[in-house]
Structure 1
């Protein structure tokens, strides 16, 4: 099975590749459109700004390709936010447009610092193959300042001053706001579940 990690020049590419290797799978880090189109599973990671990653995706002519993919795609952190049509980050950035929603900045709440860094619970809204063998209210590792508000595609939520989408699904597009590659055994199980969809 060909697993592609999209090369967005982010710092977590290798850690995702290692996490997948621990599960017994081989993956490649690439921005080659032909390899993306023929992959069985695709992971869109993201650490940094929406504008920087979108610039890379446009340079590689990947935006329309990603939007029209039919195989399972997993967006991680910023990668999930890029599924939206628009991001408020960097004074506003047009993003991929899988979801007709906007990613917005987390509200500054007394006694809670930004970015949201550390372990937090996720609360399932529905049963999903992504959650197989994962206990309710499991904790995952987060690092972000922007969110996708809760919407019709939200399948799990978390709370940090306000509720937000921690997991979304629209058709073959899955997104997680947290970093499964940094979330221990539970994160490994979620990655395994995605790879077995």
Structure 2
């Protein structure tokens, strides 16, 4: 059985992530303990809400350095993907984890599309990667976000919402999904299964 640690730091949709992983047969540990994070086989960083609050919470719990030092598979989900980058414009400017170069900006899709981007969008330009094995172009994923990560070399898949939205990113052992895989039906379950199968 695969083991996975989910950061329960008060800024994430932890229960639904836990249940989705358990449906796949994983043993899930929920923790905000820095020592348990450092020793985890795989780590998921969920996130819902404001970047500045989430980073302050990680700082208060002494989790920033263990996350930055983590060398086994790490997956950021929704806000958790954004936290992997260097900075965000949210809250007047927020320093993030700095694991992937770039700045997170407010989503600005034009007057015809509401912000936040909330609902189902198709994945496109899906690149070959172990996390996306078996996930085709056109797969549906469920998004809820008002800020967007920079589109660059780290992007593995995109969605379209008045412009490209980096939907999956990677830098080394760190991956991110801007959407919620735990709410993204078959494609999301497939991605979580792939994550559980990554060598720790």
Report the TM range for the smaller structure's normalisation.
over 0.9
Q: Structure 2: how far apart are the matches of 1:11 and 1:36? A: 16
Q: Aligned with 1:112: secondary structure? A: coil
Aligned partner of 1:46 in structure 2 is 47
Q: Which residue matches 2:179?
A: 178
Q: 1:9-88 counterparts in 2 under 5 A? A: 9-88=10-89
TM-score (norm 2): 0.95
**In the alignment, is the contact (CA less than 8 A) between 2:12 and 2:46 conserved in 1?**
no
Deviation at 1:164?
2.0
What secondary structure, in the 3-state scheme, does the structure 1 residue paired with 2:100 have? coil
Q: How many residues align?
A: 197
Quick check: 187-196 or 100-109, which moved more?
100-109
Match of 1:93 in 2: 94
Distance 1:83 1:29 in 2: 20
Other structure's SS at 1:48 match: coil
What does residue 156 of structure 2 align with? 155
Deviation at 1:123, TM superposition (A): 1.3
What CA distance in whole angstroms lies between the structure 2 residues aligned with 1:2 and 1:125? 27
Note the residue ranges of structure 2 that are not aligned, 5 or more in a row. none
Instruction: Find the residue that maps to 1:103 and give its secondary structure.
Output: strand
When normalised by structure 1's length, the TM-score is: 0.97
Name 2:192's counterpart in structure 1: 191
Question: For residues 167-190 of structure 1, what are the alpha-carbon distances to aligned partners after superposition, in whole Å with 9 as ceiling and x for unaligned?
Answer: 000000000000000011211111
Contact residue 88 and residue 105 of structure 2 kept, 8 A: yes
Q: Does 1:116 align with 2:117?
A: yes
CA RMSD of aligned residues (A): 1.1
How many angstroms apart in 2 are the aligned matches of 1:194 and 1:81? 18
State the Cα distance separating 1:11 from its structure 2 match.
4.7
CA distance in structure 2 between the partners assigned to 1:109 and 1:47 by the alignment: 24
